[in-house]
Structure 1
Amino acid sequence: MYIGVDYYPEQWPKERWTEDVRLMKELGVNVVRLAEFGWQLMEPEEGVYDFSLYDEAIELLTKNGIQVVLGTPTATPPAWMIEKYPEILPVDQNGTVISFGARRHYTVNSEVYRDFSAKIVEKMAKRYGQHESIIGWQTDNEYGHEKSDRSYGNVDQKAFQTWLKEKYQTLDTLNEAWGTVFWSQTYTAWTQIPVPRKVFQEHNPSLLLDFDRFCADAYTSYNKLQTDLLRKHIRSEQWITHNFVYTGQAINQWDMAKDLDFISFDNYPVWGGLPEPIAPAAIAHQHDLCRSSKDGKGFWVMEELSGAQGWSSIGYLPRPGHIKLWTYQAIARGAEAIVYFRWRAARFGTEEFCHGVLDHDGKPKRKYREVKEVIDSLSVFGDDWIASEYKADVAVYYDVENAWAWGIQPQSNAFDYKHEFLRFYSPAHRMNALTDIVTKESNLDGYKVLVVPVYFLTDPLVNEKITRFAKDGGTVILSYRAGVKEQNNFVVEDTLPGALRELAGVEINEYESLQLGQNNSVEGVQGSVSGVNSVASIWCDLVEPTTAEVLAEYRSCFYEKTAAITKNKFGKGTVYYVGTALENEIMDALYADIFKDAGVTIMSSSGEEVEAVTRTAEDGSVFLSVVNHSTENKGSLTLPEGTWVDPVSEEVVKGELSLEPLAAHVFRSR
């Protein structure tokens, strides 16, 4: 297994490099990532290339048995390029050109920038593509991060118009697909079509969704430009990846992943001014996204937080034990390599308060010792743990285009797509049921439960898959606002939930959008939710059963006693409809009943802070990873039947497992 650090030799005197490498070897590091921000050093002036600094750093690392991942440096075009070719700069929605001075200051729609990118990538590939100790490549860095995914300049407008012409062929087809008769927006020439810069009201939602698709396709093709060039010159054993981040960008990770050998991502459970880490389920969901992007293939964490992070505002200091816990959590959910960010905190530049394994003084202290403990513990497993099989009972549907559609029309100021997705994902996480993220291209065979959260923008292929899954005996959980939109972002003409109406056995003839501070209430009237009360927020579908039975009702407003949760038999399966945003207690009660009936394997634990994941080794034995995310409270887990051994401590456990705060263990069945 690869365990490493992100290293920036260009930021330190060469006299320090030898000591850095000595400490890395002592730590047990076997890989480093280099060079993703080094364009100015590699090409100090146009057409003049100098790789001497990285040659020297790579030689020192590899001579000491440390292998290298190289990043292409295209996230940071140098100052000379901007001065001479300012047209590569991106433009925001207000028409303001984004200045040089940070990073990601380019638009992928600039042919000038693509040409420069191709040249530097090819020069790097020719120089290092046959190097035996360079094991792989990372393209660019965090595509689309920091709102760099969408650009609204003249070059982007021309590219958008070309993209639309290729998609629709004729203006008549586009005008019909967008409904441009509304507000007299009919286009009579391709050159009339804008990029969605600031307007007095709001742009056509169909245009906005296509613009997001266009932006994603532009980044996918830009990435393919790099991967194609690399593959021409690198040896077959060298792989190519990209380190994604999950901040709502117009990036289609699944499309881009087709051109990568595997994906990577940057795991920051806490950053900037956050007072505490994000919810354990939110971290787990990101790992599930990674694993699911290549049909279950393992991924790399190319940046794993090791110290307090921030630019002008510094975030929460990870507590003793967090490094091990987040490492174990990532590996349990599919990570095959962990690269800690960063080796040493920089003394200058925007990221000088992004703390690393070493702090500014370069001395090994607590975090260094913690990483050492993690690396030593992982050596006990060899590659057995990462090679074991992760097999989920529960599939959770995700479509990036659905997320974009919600971003365009959230309909309530209380709505946040990621939060609502997690509302329906988290009960499975709290019960330690194994989950996969599935998309429109996924095969649903073998899953017992399919969760389809806030399925606003529908797809006929997905509708058919959901229907067949239920008909064949699967259990489906639908939520409010299911079935509302068609692929062109038009509202469906059918009574809601549209194409899913018969499947759910309900009709939605009215609904209410609840804004911040507005609530209703719901009470369970049947089954496991009977007598359980919950605040209802964000949205209320007034659910009218046709063939479904009522499990919960609203308790206030004129629609008091109207159904809020229903259950419908469909074919050999069962379909649940949750018509509002509910609290954890009632959601957990509902999911407990669903999982019991569907035969989903769960593990009982004390609270949502305890997370357990099982994986099956080739010899049939089972790895059980258990972590307690709480920094203050002990936790417990009812272990699966049998005897479990901690290969690191050789401790034998069975029955009820007690967990200290921030405890992280891996057990193997015996």
Structure 2
Amino acid sequence: MHNFIIWEKELLRTLDKTRKVGTNGFLGICPRVPEHDIMAEGLDWYGWDIYPMGGRNTPQQIAEMADWWRSIAVNRGAEFHVTELQGGPNVRWGYPGFIEGPEIKVWTHQVVAHGAKAILYHQWRTAKFGGETGGFGILNSDGSRTKRLDAIEEAGIEVKKILPELEKRKIYPKAAVAYLRSSDVQTYQEQGPPRNIAGQWEQVRAELGHTHGLDSCQGAYQVLWNYYNPASFIFESNLDKNDINRFSVILLPNPYVLTRNQAENLIEFVKSGGVLITESRFGAKNENAQLHEKPILQEFLGIKSEHIETIDDRIYLPKIRCWAYGFRDLVFDDNDVLLHYKDGFPAIIEKKIGEGKIIYSTFSIFMSIGKSGNERLAEYVRNFLPKPEFFIKDRDHIEMVLWQDDDSPLLYIINHSPSKDKFEVISPEKFVLAKDILSEKTFDIEKGKLTLKLAGRESMALILSQNNF
């Protein structure tokens, strides 16, 4: 498929030698096919389609997919484009909730904040026939204006004010989630699709196969979102090339398939001061989807697992009042254990290696984060991370994305709620003033604390200064 796309690009180049060439896709269907990390190679841009209302996506989920897609593009030297952003209500598929307009303005600011270089909205005018009849349009079917168009125009005016400052800065994520496609494929192939089969001990569970990889990545991202924001995604190609040392934190969900080289690079990352948080089945299989004869878990982490079991229902973690789901490594050694299950087996183990540390969960901790009743689990994991220089408190509805340069970082702040909200930003104490590009208001930063209010579904772009503007 990638070869075909490159052939198409070369064909286009015979007709147009100047315009940038790319293609688009989305993460709503499983990311295993195609392999997006490869698909972006050789393209000028790689485009992402997102329908937030149709998918009932939360702000966290939109941020996750934007960071994922930006990472795919940047990893292969391409620009990150949003090639379909929902412009009107869904029909025939997805959630059909009506879109008034202010929602699109918020989505626009969010994808720009996460690094999108271009945005196309789907679609200009409501379709009059076909499978999308009556839906998706920015304009009405007769071509008349709507509040959706008003909101897009307002967003465009604001983004044009912010873009010159973004172009002076870059996104430098300090934390990354690793997506291992080989692990995702192998997990799915072993478990198979959800189905009822007479005589089996249980119905095949999608959370252990079809959706396990995405569920685990989503749980890992939940740890980072609005704390280390933006985050990055890394892929097997990054682990192969040891292209990971620019991060201080790596979260490694579903680490089922690891090559020995990848494991060695992860250990070197930790030795040099990095924090690695990973989970059950760490490197159980090699690149040929065969069990390592000499278990990587034991060789590199010094942890011996007697058996990998599928958790029948759930297991209680009394110390933090949460539940463990998914897979579990049965470990008997009680050294370096931070947390036990109710049945006494080790649940969380800390290994200090060189200047850094590995936090190893013997269960599928990242998948478990998304389970009802486990709201404290993400915060528990977050406590193992070094505190970032900039972060936002009271972050239920407010999102902050950091853009950096040497002297004056920019904080892109978005209120996803329709209601006015008050919040606090924590920054290094050397910064004393913040100026909003949109309102041109100036705010004092007192000993590293900046208290702000933001109207519902509005945004601000704050430039921080160590002196007066």
Give the TM bin, normalised by the shorter chain: 0.7 to 0.9
Aligned-partner Cα distance in 1 for 2:94–2:266: 45
Aligned-partner Cα distance in 2 for 1:312–1:338: 22
Query: What's the offset of the Cα at 1:421?
Result: 1.2
- Does residue 299 (structure 1) correspond to residue 94 (structure 2)? The answer is no
Query: What's the offset of the Cα at 1:502?
Result: 4.1
Aligned residue number for residue 220 of structure 1:
2
Q: Determine if contact 1:506/1:544 at 8 Å carries over to the other structure.
A: no
Aligned residue number for residue 656 of structure 1:
451
- Does residue 436 (structure 1) correspond to residue 244 (structure 2)? The answer is no
More helix by share: 1
Task: Give a deviation string over 1:125-150, Cα, whole Å, max 9, x none.
Answer: xxxxxxxxxxxxxxxxxxxxxxxxxx
Q: Determine if contact 2:162/2:461 at 8 Å carries over to the other structure.
A: no
Q: Determine if contact 2:304/2:331 at 8 Å carries over to the other structure.
A: yes
Aligned residue number for residue 271 of structure 2:
471
Once the two structures are superposed, the pairs formed by residues 630-669 of structure 1 within 5 Å of their partners are 630-631=417-418, 634=421, 636-640=423-427, 641-654=431-444, 655-669=450-464
Query: What's the offset of the Cα at 1:647?
Result: 1.3
Q: Determine if contact 1:324/1:664 at 8 Å carries over to the other structure.
A: no
Query: What's the offset of the Cα at 1:402?
Result: 2.4
Task: Give a deviation string over 1:202-243, Cα, whole Å, max 9, x none.
Answer: xxxxxxxxxxxxxxxxx11221221222223321x2111111
Aligned residue number for residue 404 of structure 2:
616
CA distance 1:300–1:413, change in 2 (3 Å): closer
Q: Determine if contact 1:311/1:353 at 8 Å carries over to the other structure.
A: no
1:489 aligned partner, one-letter code = A
Aligned-partner Cα distance in 2 for 1:523–1:375: 50
Residue 426 of structure 1, aligned match among 199, 222, 229: 222
Aligned residue number for residue 33 of structure 2:
250
What are structure 1's unaligned runs of at least 5 residues? 1-218, 525-531
Once the two structures are superposed, the pairs formed by residues 4-83 of structure 1 within 5 Å of their partners are none
Aligned-partner Cα distance in 1 for 2:351–2:404: 34
Aligned residue number for residue 414 of structure 1:
207
2:457 aligned partner, one-letter code = L
Query: What's the offset of the Cα at 1:653?
Result: 3.0
Aligned residue number for residue 509 of structure 1:
306
Task: Give a deviation string over 1:322-358, Cα, whole Å, max 9, x none.
Answer: 2122111111111011111111110111112432221
CA distance 1:314–1:523, change in 2 (3 Å): closer
1:280 aligned partner, one-letter code = P
Query: What's the offset of the Cα at 1:382?
Result: 4.3
Q: Determine if contact 2:390/2:425 at 8 Å carries over to the other structure.
A: no
Query: What's the offset of the Cα at 1:316?
Result: 2.3
Aligned residue number for residue 281 of structure 1:
60
Aligned-partner Cα distance in 2 for 1:542–1:372: 57
Query: What's the offset of the Cα at 1:521?
Result: 0.9
Residue 361 of structure 2, aligned match among 575, 578, 586: 578
Aligned-partner Cα distance in 1 for 2:455–2:349: 40
Aligned residue number for residue 179 of structure 1:
none
Q: Determine if contact 2:390/2:426 at 8 Å carries over to the other structure.
A: no
Query: What's the offset of the Cα at 1:483?
Result: 1.2
- Does residue 240 (structure 1) correspond to residue 16 (structure 2)? The answer is no
Residue 338 of structure 2, aligned match among 548, 551, 554: 551
Aligned residue number for residue 106 of structure 2:
325
TM-score, length-scaled by structure 1: 0.60
Aligned residue number for residue 484 of structure 1:
284
Aligned residue number for residue 44 of structure 2:
261
Task: Give a deviation string over 1:84-125, Cα, whole Å, max 9, x none.
Answer: xxxxxxxxxxxxxxxxxxxxxxxxxxxxxxxxxxxxxxxxxx
Q: Determine if contact 2:176/2:231 at 8 Å carries over to the other structure.
A: yes
Residue 91 of structure 2, aligned match among 310, 316, 321: 310
Aligned residue number for residue 453 of structure 1:
253
Aligned-partner Cα distance in 2 for 1:386–1:461: 37
Aligned-partner Cα distance in 1 for 2:266–2:232: 15
Residue 392 of structure 2, aligned match among 604, 626, 637: 604
Aligned residue number for residue 9 of structure 1:
none
Identity of aligned residues (%): 22
Aligned-partner Cα distance in 1 for 2:94–2:356: 51
2:71 aligned partner, one-letter code = S
1:652 aligned partner, one-letter code = T
Task: Give a deviation string over 1:187-206, Cα, whole Å, max 9, x none.
Answer: xxxxxxxxxxxxxxxxxxxx
Kindly tell me the number of residue pairs found equivalent between the two proteins: 426
CA distance 1:630–1:509, change in 2 (3 Å): farther
Aligned residue number for residue 590 of structure 1:
381
Task: Give a deviation string over 1:424-443, Cα, whole Å, max 9, x none.
Answer: 12111142443111123321
Q: Determine if contact 1:266/1:302 at 8 Å carries over to the other structure.
A: yes
1:441 aligned partner, one-letter code = S
Aligned-partner Cα distance in 1 for 2:79–2:432: 28
Query: What's the offset of the Cα at 1:260?
Result: 0.5
Q: Determine if contact 2:179/2:234 at 8 Å carries over to the other structure.
A: yes
Once the two structures are superposed, the pairs formed by residues 525-544 of structure 1 within 5 Å of their partners are 532-544=320-332
Please state whether the residue corresponding to 1:304 is helix, strand or coil: strand
Please state whether the residue corresponding to 1:409 is helix, strand or coil: helix
Aligned residue number for residue 314 of structure 2:
519
Q: Determine if contact 1:432/1:604 at 8 Å carries over to the other structure.
A: no
Aligned-partner Cα distance in 2 for 1:421–1:543: 24
Query: What's the offset of the Cα at 1:287?
Result: 1.4
Query: What's the offset of the Cα at 1:577?
Result: 0.6
Aligned-partner Cα distance in 2 for 1:478–1:403: 15
Query: What's the offset of the Cα at 1:591?
Result: 1.5
CA distance 1:400–1:609, change in 2 (3 Å): farther
Please state whether the residue corresponding to 2:207 is helix, strand or coil: coil
Query: What's the offset of the Cα at 1:386?
Result: 4.3
Aligned-partner Cα distance in 1 for 2:458–2:302: 45
CA distance 1:483–1:455, change in 2 (3 Å): same
Q: Determine if contact 1:300/1:338 at 8 Å carries over to the other structure.
A: yes
Aligned-partner Cα distance in 2 for 1:500–1:379: 50
Q: CA RMSD in A?
A: 2.4
Aligned residue number for residue 216 of structure 1:
none
Aligned-partner Cα distance in 1 for 2:13–2:298: 48
Query: What's the offset of the Cα at 1:313?
Result: 5.9
Task: Give a deviation string over 1:168-195, Cα, whole Å, max 9, x none.
Answer: xxxxxxxxxxxxxxxxxxxxxxxxxxxx
Once the two structures are superposed, the pairs formed by residues 178-197 of structure 1 within 5 Å of their partners are none
Aligned-partner Cα distance in 2 for 1:394–1:378: 26
TM-score, length-scaled by structure 2: 0.84
Of stretches 377-386 and 343-352 in structure 1, the one that deviates more from structure 2 is: 377-386
- Does residue 462 (structure 1) correspond to residue 256 (structure 2)? The answer is no
Aligned-partner Cα distance in 1 for 2:409–2:390: 15
Query: What's the offset of the Cα at 1:320?
Result: 4.5
Please state whether the residue corresponding to 2:402 is helix, strand or coil: strand
Aligned residue number for residue 201 of structure 2:
none
2:207 aligned partner, one-letter code = A
Please state whether the residue corresponding to 2:392 is helix, strand or coil: coil
Aligned-partner Cα distance in 2 for 1:395–1:628: 24
1:427 aligned partner, one-letter code = V
CA distance 1:459–1:280, change in 2 (3 Å): farther
Q: Determine if contact 1:393/1:601 at 8 Å carries over to the other structure.
A: no
Aligned-partner Cα distance in 2 for 1:635–1:454: 37
1:584 aligned partner, one-letter code = E
CA distance 1:414–1:255, change in 2 (3 Å): closer
Aligned residue number for residue 202 of structure 1:
none
Query: What's the offset of the Cα at 1:574?
Result: 0.4
Aligned-partner Cα distance in 2 for 1:297–1:340: 21
Aligned-partner Cα distance in 2 for 1:320–1:634: 20
Aligned-partner Cα distance in 2 for 1:605–1:407: 38
Aligned-partner Cα distance in 1 for 2:413–2:167: 15
Please state whether the residue corresponding to 1:638 is helix, strand or coil: strand
Please state whether the residue corresponding to 1:302 is helix, strand or coil: strand
Aligned-partner Cα distance in 2 for 1:239–1:611: 31
